[in-house]
């Protein structure tokens, strides 16, 4: 509750106060007219000088007038003694009760704002005058009160000094209105708290400064946290060296902007104790204390408006090492509970006990004020927790301003006099204002950490470049190995061809040698025939001699034949080739010789035989030349054979090196198998679980950051992932993916575990998909029946399904159908949990909802819920919540109409039936799903008929999460059909 009725009546009676006072007695009218004149002019005076005892001397009677209203505001904080406690007094307008009760009496208070004086009437003929640092009439605005009382303190706090602004007065006189008014409807009614934080936020930089607040109440001598009501009896600690007061355990919230602070203030006001008494319909029953901690970085050219005396004692902004300086200051804004008399307030029971504690703490505060004003040697600050909290504000090092509120009614003359005397005594207190500066080692540390992060990023970038170069060199090496293998194949093929050609040539050479030997034999045969021919010629010569008739002819013929035969023998010796027809020719010659009648014809045949013998000789020469060329070619072939042997030896060396590399890769694969976790739960979709765990953080103020506690299992998983990532870099992702198609089931199991662990990291998912890993995983789901491989492959797909781009690829490749089939053919809870997690991740993509339902994804989820496993049911609930959330977002944005797709498959019935499950995670997702389904008006009929309205009402009241309760209330309020059914109930 941001404001209370009594404080609202304060502003409402502002206008009524002047009119009612004009209708009272003559003295009242005169004081009102003088107050009206004083609103235009201001009387200034010299500030009271302090004597050696610390008490102010009586003020001088001399005064001067100012022509502007602002001079009155200026005089409050331009005092020559800024260390003295400043006290201003504010008069509350007359309310309806005052007008009714004091109709026959005049006001007991007369204000003289021009002289900064107040007259308190003892009776109708005597009064006492009191002087304050500022006097506010009932028409003074909230802005002017802030600028006079609190703004100088706020400026000092921004410059590095502690400060306190406190409101003191009788109950019902407007303290909370002055200090804690929120002014949500009317900004002009904002109190000191809101205006002070508005100036502080405007004067600080979120980048280099911080503003943190704590809001507490002192109720019945127990300090309670208004931002976290469960924190009670918070202890008070005092630093023995500096005397600084701290409250360990109190909630400290860093303020982001003014709206954030207004929300915090509204929460605190709602938790503050208040009650209805005769004095006030909404009386504060506790002291409210707003603590504002400011931390500002001091730069070299800062203009701190500090007087010359404080500048002389101020430390340097930077030391010789260049360490920045930070100023820490604290602002206390205290709204004290009102003092009251039991007989007037009519308090009974608990209210009476509260009043006793309030009066006791205020009495202790008054004793401390009196002791300080009288320079007593003992200050009883430990008599009350209030005085301990305000130890620095009175007699300490803070700059303090006190706003004293009083009422005009004569019925409360005693309380008003006591309040005025409290303010008079407080004006005598002098504080020792100190500037608090420290070296900003935290900022320097953050700067160094930033530099370290930058250098680390640069090192990682260089490492990435080196890895890329290494990958390119390995790729080139693989290409060289492939080219070497291809060259080896070519060389082996060529050597085989050359060997075959060599064998063929050797066989041809043997044939030629055999043929030459045959020709030699023929030549020998021809010589024998020639010798025989010679013998026959000799016999014929004798025969011719005997034949006298033909002697002359035979002599001539014989001479001619001898000449021819000599030439023929010479040709035979030279030729030695192709003499196969010589025998025929010799036979023919014998015939010719025997037949002298045919001598002429024999001459012709001899000529032809000589020609043939010449051709045979030429053929023999050609054969010899070919033989020489074959020998030279054979020699060249032998040289080439030696070269090929050398190349073959080098290729064998390379093959040996490749064999060593292959053995090294096999060893790395063995290490990979050993590094893969044996626990199938290690490759789960950890990111989704991590998000669920982070979402379970406390929603209370001060506990919004969830704490992360490491455990041995998480450290073990991190070590395994680091090992797998290292092996993946050395072996290569492509080779690991190739192992998924291995015929060895053990190799497949280890390979798919490695891929699942790699898929748990965002940086690996893109490479896995690009290298064909998604297709390989879907192929495993399609073709294998091994339970372990199905479970691990489903977990890997669940991890890949965390990425929106991968979700579309999984759906395009039929992944939802495969997951649904896998769920239908297995009863293993772990496998079902992985499949449900993958489908739950796909349910988070609004573009895929229709296709996912058509592929049977929703039916598969509901079917898996029948397994009874709590982990599987939690994943099913998460998937339905994601599906319903995407649908509600589409309905709000206007591109989705009609009933929810979940209703057709019976998901709404399942959600209603499981709304009271014991699992906190499952119940939270079920509640979210029902709330999102209720956002669509087209689902209202099914929700009503299924009993969902009763469940939504239960969620709005009993849910453990505040945001879910608020969402359920909003749906019940905004959905007309649900609201009508709720009213009918």
**pLDDT tens-digit series, residues 87-123:** 999 998 887 777 776 555 567 888 999 999 999 987 7
Band (640; pLDDT cuts 50, 70, 90): confident
Q: Which residue has the higher pLDDT, 677 or 179?
A: 179
pLDDT of residue 940: 85
Residue 259 has pLDDT above 70, yes or no: yes
pLDDT of residue 257: 92
pLDDT of residue 285: 74
Q: What are phi and psi of 25, to 5 degrees?
A: -70, 175
Tokens describing residue 131: 């002087």
Instruction: Tell me the C-alpha distance between 152 and 569, whole Å.
Output: 149
Q: Please, which residues have CB within 8 angstroms of residue 452's CB and are 6 or more apart in sequence? A: none
pLDDT of residue 594: 64
> Which candidate, 85, 74, 187, 201, places its Cα nearest to that of 141?
187
Band (915; pLDDT cuts 50, 70, 90): confident
Residue 157 has pLDDT above 90, yes or no: yes
> Which candidate, 477, 498, 491, 479, places its Cα nearest to that of 651?
491
When pLDDT is averaged across residues 819-827 and rounded to a whole number, the result is 86
Interhelix angle for 815-824 vs 787-800, to 10°?
A: 140
pLDDT-wise least confident of 254-263, 351-360, 495-504: 351-360
Instruction: Tell me the C-alpha distance between 64 and 46, whole Å.
Output: 10
Band (137; pLDDT cuts 50, 70, 90): very high
CA-based angle 916:921:926, to the nearest 5? 50
Residue span(s) of the chain under CATH 3.40.850.10 come to 82-299+323-439
Instruction: Tell me the C-alpha distance between 158 and 643, whole Å.
Output: 91
CA-based angle 971:973:978, to the nearest 5? 70
- The binding site comprises 169-176
Instruction: Tell me the C-alpha distance between 846 and 829, whole Å.
Output: 28
> Is the pTM value of this prediction over 0.85?
no
Place of tokens 């060893």: 667
- The binding site for ATP comprises 169-176
583: how many CB neighbours lie within 10 A of its CB?
Answer: 13
pLDDT of residue 666: 61
pLDDT of residue 582: 54
Q: Please, which residues have CB within 8 angstroms of residue 638's CB and are 6 or more apart in sequence? A: none
When pLDDT is averaged across residues 849-874 and rounded to a whole number, the result is 88
pLDDT-wise least confident of 125-129, 353-357, 508-512, 679-683: 679-683
pLDDT of residue 343: 59
When pLDDT is averaged across residues 587-593 and rounded to a whole number, the result is 63
Q: Kindly report, residue by residue over 863-908, the tens digit of the pLDDT.
A: 998 888 888 999 999 999 999 999 888 888 888 888 888 888 888 8
Residue 34 has pLDDT above 50, yes or no: no
pLDDT of residue 199: 94
Q: Could you tell me the fold of the domain covering 862-984?
A: 1.25.10
Q: Kindly report, residue by residue over 647-679, the tens digit of the pLDDT.
A: 777 777 877 776 776 666 666 656 555 554 444
> Is residue 702 a contact partner of residue 253, using CB atoms and an 8 Å limit?
yes
Tokens describing residue 454: 């930058």
pLDDT of residue 584: 65
Band (312; pLDDT cuts 50, 70, 90): very low
Residue 773 has pLDDT above 80, yes or no: yes
pLDDT-wise least confident of 278-287, 320-329, 762-771, 782-791: 278-287
pLDDT-wise least confident of 120-129, 489-498, 557-566, 627-636: 557-566
HEC readout, 159-212: CCCCEEEEEEEECCCCHHHHHHCCCCCCHHHCCHHHHHHHHHHHHCCCCCCEEE
Q: Which residues pair with 49 in a beta bridge?
A: none
pLDDT of residue 320: 41
Place of tokens 């009676």: 13
pLDDT of residue 665: 63
pLDDT of residue 81: 60
Q: How far is CA 280 from CA 10, 108, 284, in A?
A: 11, 20, 9
Q: Kindly report, residue by residue over 39-51, the tens digit of the pLDDT.
A: 332 333 333 333 3
pLDDT of residue 717: 55
By DSSP bridging, strand 274-275 and strand 283-284 are antiparallel
> Is residue 881 a contact partner of residue 926, using CB atoms and an 8 Å limit?
yes
Q: Which residue has the higher pLDDT, 215 or 905?
A: 215
pLDDT of residue 16: 38
Please state, rounded to an integer, the average pLDDT across all residues of the chain.
76
Residue 244 has pLDDT above 90, yes or no: no
Q: What are phi and psi of 473, to 5 degrees?
A: -65, -40
356: how many CB neighbours lie within 10 A of its CB?
Answer: 13
How much of the chain is helix, strand and coil, in % rounded to 5?
Answer: 65, 10, 25
Instruction: Tell me the C-alpha distance between 604 and 620, whole Å.
Output: 25
317: how many CB neighbours lie within 10 A of its CB?
Answer: 14
Band (152; pLDDT cuts 50, 70, 90): very high
Q: Could you tell me the fold of the domain covering 82-299+323-439?
A: Kinesin (3.40.850)
pLDDT-wise least confident of 447-451, 576-580, 829-833, 910-914: 576-580
By DSSP bridging, strand 163-169 and strand 245-246 are unpaired
By DSSP bridging, strand 274-275 and strand 117-121 are unpaired
pLDDT of residue 286: 86
pLDDT of residue 603: 60
Tokens describing residue 18: 């002047």
Q: Is 899 exposed, middle or buried (0-12, 13-18, 19+ CB in 10 A)?
A: middle
Tokens describing residue 469: 């170069």
Residue/partner pairs of 227-231 with CB below 8 Å, 24 or more apart = 227/251, 227/253, 227/264, 227/267, 227/268, 227/271, 227/701, 227/702, 228/700, 228/701, 228/702, 228/703, 229/271
Residue 281 has pLDDT above 70, yes or no: no
Check residue 804 and report its DSSP letter: H
Residue span(s) of the chain under CATH 1.25.10.10 come to 862-984
């Amino acid at each position: 509750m941001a404001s209370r009725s009594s404080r609202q009546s304060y502003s409402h009676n502002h206008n009524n106060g002047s009119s009612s006072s004009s209708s009272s007695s003559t003295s009242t009218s005169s004081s009102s007219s003088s107050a009206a004149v004083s609103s235009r002019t201001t009387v200034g005076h010299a500030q009271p000088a302090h004597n050696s005892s610390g008490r102010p001397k009586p003020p001088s009677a001399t005064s001067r007038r100012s022509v502007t209203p602002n001079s009155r505001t200026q005089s409050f904080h331009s005092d020559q003694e800024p260390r003295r406690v400043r006290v201003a007094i504010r008069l509350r307008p007359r309310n309806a009760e005052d007008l009714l009760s004091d109709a026959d009496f005049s006001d007991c208070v007369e204000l003289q704002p021009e002289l900064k004086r107040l007259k308190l009437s003892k009776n109708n003929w005597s009064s006492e005058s009191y002087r304050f640092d500022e006097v506010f009439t009932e028409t003074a605005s909230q802005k002017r009160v802030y600028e006079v009382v609190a703004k100088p303190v706020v400026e000092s706090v921004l410059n590095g000094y502690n400060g306190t602004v406190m409101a003191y007065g009788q109950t019902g006189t407007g303290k909370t209105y002055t200090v804690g008014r929120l002014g949500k409807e009317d900004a002009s009614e904002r109190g000191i708290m809101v205006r002070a934080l508005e100036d502080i936020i405007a004067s600080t930089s979120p980048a280099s400064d911080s503003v943190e607040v704590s809001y507490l109440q002192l109720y019945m001598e127990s300090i309670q946290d208004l931002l976290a009501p469960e924190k009670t009896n918070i202890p008070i600690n005092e630093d023995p060296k500096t005397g600084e007061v701290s409250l360990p355990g109190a909630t400290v919230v860093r303020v982001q902007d003014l709206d954030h602070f207004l929300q915090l203030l509204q929460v605190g006001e709602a938790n503050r104790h208040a009650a209805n008494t005769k004095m006030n319909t909404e009386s504060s029953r506790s002291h409210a204390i707003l603590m504002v901690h400011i931390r500002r970085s001091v730069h070299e050219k800062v203009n701190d408006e500090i007087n010359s005396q404080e500048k002389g004692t101020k430390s340097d902004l930077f030391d010789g090492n260049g360490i920045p300086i930070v100023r820490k200051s604290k602002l206390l804004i205290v709204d004290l509970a009102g003092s009251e008399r039991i007989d007037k307030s009519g308090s009974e029971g608990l209210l009476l006990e509260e009043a006793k504690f309030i009066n006791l703490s205020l009495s202790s505060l008054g004793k401390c004020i009196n002791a300080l004003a009288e320079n007593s040697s003992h200050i009883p600050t430990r008599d009350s927790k209030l005085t301990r909290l305000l130890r620095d504000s009175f007699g300490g090092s803070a700059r303090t301003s006190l706003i004293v509120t009083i009422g005009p009614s004569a019925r409360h003359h005693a309380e008003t006099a006591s309040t005025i005397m409290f303010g008079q005594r407080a004006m005598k207190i002098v504080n020792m204002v100190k500037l608090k500066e420290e070296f900003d080692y935290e900022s320097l540390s953050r700067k160094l950490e930033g530099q370290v992060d930058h250098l680390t990023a640069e090192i990682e970038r260089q490492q990435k470049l080196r890895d890329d170069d290494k990958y390119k060199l390995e790729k080139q090496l693989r290409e060289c190995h492939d080219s070497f293998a291809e060259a080896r194949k070519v060389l082996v093929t060529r050597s085989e061809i050359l060997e075959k050609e060599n064998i063929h040539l050797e066989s041809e050479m043997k044939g030629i040698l055999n043929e030459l030997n045959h020709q030699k034999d023929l030549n020998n045969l021809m010589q024998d025939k020639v010798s025989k021919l010679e013998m026959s010629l000799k016999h014929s010569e004798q025969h011719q001699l005997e034949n006298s008739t033909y002697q002359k002819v035979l002599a001539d013929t014989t001479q001619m034949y001898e000449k021819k035969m000599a030439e023929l023998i010479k040709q035979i010796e030279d030729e030695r080739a192709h003499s196969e027809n010589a025998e025929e020719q010799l036979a023919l010659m014998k015939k010719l010789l025997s037949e002298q009648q045919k001598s002429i014809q024999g001459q012709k045949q001899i000529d032809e035989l000589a020609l043939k013998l010449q051709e045979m000789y030429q053929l023999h020469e050609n054969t010899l030349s070919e033989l020489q060329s074959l020998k030279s070619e054979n020699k060249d072939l032998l040289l080439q054979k030696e070269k090929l042997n050398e190349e073959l030896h080098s290729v064998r060396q390379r093959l040996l090196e490749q064999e060593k590399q292959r053995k090294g890769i096999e060893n790395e694969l063995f290490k990979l198998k050993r590094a893969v976790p044996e626990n199938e739960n290690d490759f789960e979709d950890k990111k989704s679980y991590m998000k669920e765990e982070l979402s379970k953080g406390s929603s209370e103020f001060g506990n919004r950051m969830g704490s992360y506690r490491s455990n041995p299992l998480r450290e073990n998983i991190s070590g395994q992932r680091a090992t797998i990532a290292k092996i993946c870099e050395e072996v290569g992702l492509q080779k690991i993916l190739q192992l998924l198609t291995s015929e060895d089931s053990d190799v497949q199991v280890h390979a798919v575990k490695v891929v699942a662990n790699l898929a748990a990291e965002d940086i690996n998912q893109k490479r896995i998909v690009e290298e064909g890993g998604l297709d390989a995983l879907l192929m495993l789901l399609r073709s294998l029946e091994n339970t372990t491989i199905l479970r691990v492959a489903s977990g890997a797909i669940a991890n890949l399904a965390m990425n929106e781009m991968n979700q579309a690829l999984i759906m395009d490749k039929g992944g939802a159908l495969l997951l649904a089939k896998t769920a239908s053919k297995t009863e293993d809870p772990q496998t079902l949990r992985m499949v449900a997690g993958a489908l739950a991740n796909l349910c988070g993509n609004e573009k895929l909802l229709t296709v996912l339902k058509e592929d049977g994804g929703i039916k598969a989820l509901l079917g898996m819920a029948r397994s009874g496993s709590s982990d599987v049911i939690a994943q099913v609930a998460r998937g339905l919540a994601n599906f319903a959330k995407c649908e509600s977002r589409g309905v709000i944005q206007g591109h989705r109409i009609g009933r929810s797709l979940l209703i057709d498959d019976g998901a709404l019935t399942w959600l209603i039936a499981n709304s009271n499950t014991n699992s906190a995670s499952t119940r939270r997702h079920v509640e979210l799903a029902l709330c999102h389904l209720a956002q669509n008006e087209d689902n209202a009929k099914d929700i009503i008929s299924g009993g969902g309205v009763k469940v939504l009402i239960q969620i709005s009241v009993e849910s453990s999460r505040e945001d879910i309760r608020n969402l359920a209330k909003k749906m019940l309020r905004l959905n007309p059909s649900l609201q009508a059914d709720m009213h009918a109930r």
